[in-house]
């Protein structure tokens, strides 16, 4: 199950104070929910997420101030790895990342 769907189901249970009468596993059907009202809420949830777009800062902005080239290269590799992980996590939540 993707992160966005987990968050949606948690929100639903918090908002309504309980899970739906039919278990989540039984409600999920390929790319939506078999219960029409829940499926409409899911569509709205996805639309709200897709409307959000995050622009991460350019790493070169930070590296321009480093004088030590060895440190700069090591820091760049570390930062690029962290950035790739951040992008994956943000996208898993259903949010777009501007590249």
Percent over 70 (pLDDT), the chain? 89
What is the reported pLDDT for 66?
Answer: 66
Mean pLDDT of 10-34: 95
Range with the poorest average pLDDT among 15-24, 36-45, 48-57: 48-57
Residue 93, φ and ψ in degrees, nearest 5? -85, 0
Query: Model's pTM, two decimal places?
Result: 0.63
- DSSP of 46-72: HHHHHT-EEEPPPHHHHHTT---HHHH
Confidence bin at 67 (pLDDT 50/70/90): low
What is the reported pLDDT for 70?
Answer: 65
Strand locations in the chain, DSSP E? 28-29, 32-33, 53-55, 96-98
Contact 56, 87 (CB under 8 A): yes
What is the reported pLDDT for 52?
Answer: 84
Confidence bin at 30 (pLDDT 50/70/90): confident
Confidence bin at 21 (pLDDT 50/70/90): very high
Contact 5, 95 (CB under 8 A): no
């Amino acid at each position: 199950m993707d992160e966005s769907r987990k968050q949606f189901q948690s929100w639903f249970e918090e908002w309504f104070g309980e899970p739906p009468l039919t278990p989540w596993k039984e409600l999920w059907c390929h790319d939506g929910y078999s219960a029409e009202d829940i499926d409409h809420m899911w569509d709205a949830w996805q639309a709200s997420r897709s409307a959000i777009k995050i622009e991460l800062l350019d790493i070169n902005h930070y590296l321009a101030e480093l004088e030590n080239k060895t440190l700069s290269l090591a820091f760049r590799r570390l930062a690029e790895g962290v950035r790739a992980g951040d992008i994956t996590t943000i996208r898993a939540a259903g949010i777009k990342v501007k590249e």
